[in-house]
Chain A
């Protein structure tokens, strides 16, 4: 019986090999260009609320430091804290003042508290508000927020919009 010869690959023990990184460099260059395009120069970062569709506008002003209010079809929030519920594009009757249907009681209380506790901050002193509102909401609902905010000493309202269509 003939014995089969064992396969012996020809490997040099101390050899080095050069990794071809040209394609990887190409990929990184494309990635770099894309990231440079989306680079944000704004000082203030706004985190988009889930379930809230912002309107788009041609405005090119960067957001400034302010109290962030979001108004979606479900809730009114300050930062991430829920202030009042929204149902059928309107606030619930228990959250509104009986005599004045534009006055949102919990929003006024919260803004009043912020004005008293953070009075040393420039944006609170100047009464700046960044409002993120759902694009399908009617003006009547928005007006209630604007009205209450100005009553609480926050008359500078800035509407947050998306860039382009």
Chain B
């Protein structure tokens, strides 16, 4: 029987990898990405609400004697959280800390308010005329949802017939003093 021819492999040989096609692809990709790049990313404040939360907000709007949660922002006194329930106001103050708004304290107080009123998703924001816009945006960040991922609020889902958890606190923020003179 004829012996199979042994193929000689030189294990010490070197070869050059042809990078030209890869470079050609990259040269085409880079201008495409340069055109569609956003070097300054901008977003809008508007919360995409889950179906369950939207339904809860609609239900709240239909309520004839709703519980109203309002947040007054003042440059001297700090925050006043006003909860109007059955026609009675309950005011809680979050004072200024070292001349600045105490946002962590506000967040904690609002988490407690939300736990007491899980069916409310709307918050009426009443900033003072002198409050800078950047502070208003920071306050809106504190109000919209819980920062701690372990903190959840129950919402009743009519389709499933049980409570589901959401991180949203007050995603619907209304500037209620906008139309005042």
Q: Which residues of A contact B (CB under 8 A)?
A: 18, 21-22, 24-25, 28-29, 31-32, 35-36, 38-40, 42, 45-46, 48, 54-64, 100-102, 130, 133-140, 142-143, 146-147, 150, 158-163
Interchain CB contact under 8 A, A147 and B178: yes
Interface residues on B, range: 35 or more
Residues A163 and B47 in contact in the complex (CB < 8 Å), given A18-B16, A57-B140, A136-B133: no
**Contacting residues, chain A, for B45 (C-beta < 8 A):** 57, 59, 61, 158-159, 161
Closest approach, in angstroms, between the C-beta of A88 and any C-beta of chain B? 13
Q: Does B58 contact A (CB under 8 A)?
A: no
Closest approach, in angstroms, between the C-beta of A50 and any C-beta of chain B? 12
Would you give 16 A-B contacts (Cβ < 8 Å), ordered by A? A32-B29, A32-B30, A35-B33, A40-B38, A40-B41, A57-B137, A58-B141, A59-B44, A60-B43, A61-B48, A135-B133, A138-B129, A139-B129, A142-B133, A142-B136, A143-B129
Most buried by B among A18, A146, A158, A161: A161
Alpha-carbon distance between A127 and B20 when the two chains are bound, in angstroms? 53
**Contacting residues, chain A, for B42 (C-beta < 8 A):** 46, 48, 54, 63, 160-163
1/0 contact trace for B122-146 toward A, CB 8 Å?
A: 0000011111111011101100100
**Contacting residues, chain A, for B134 (C-beta < 8 A):** 55, 135-136
Closest approach, in angstroms, between the C-beta of B134 and any C-beta of chain A? 4
Interchain CB contact under 8 A, A63 and B132: no
Interchain CB contact under 8 A, B19 and A22: yes
Closest approach, in angstroms, between the C-beta of B30 and any C-beta of chain A? 6
Q: Please give me the residue from chain A that is nearest to B125 by CB atom.
A: A139
Minimum-distance CB pairs A-B, first 10: A40-B38, A35-B33, A140-B129, A135-B134, A28-B26, A55-B134, A55-B137, A158-B44, A163-B41, A38-B37
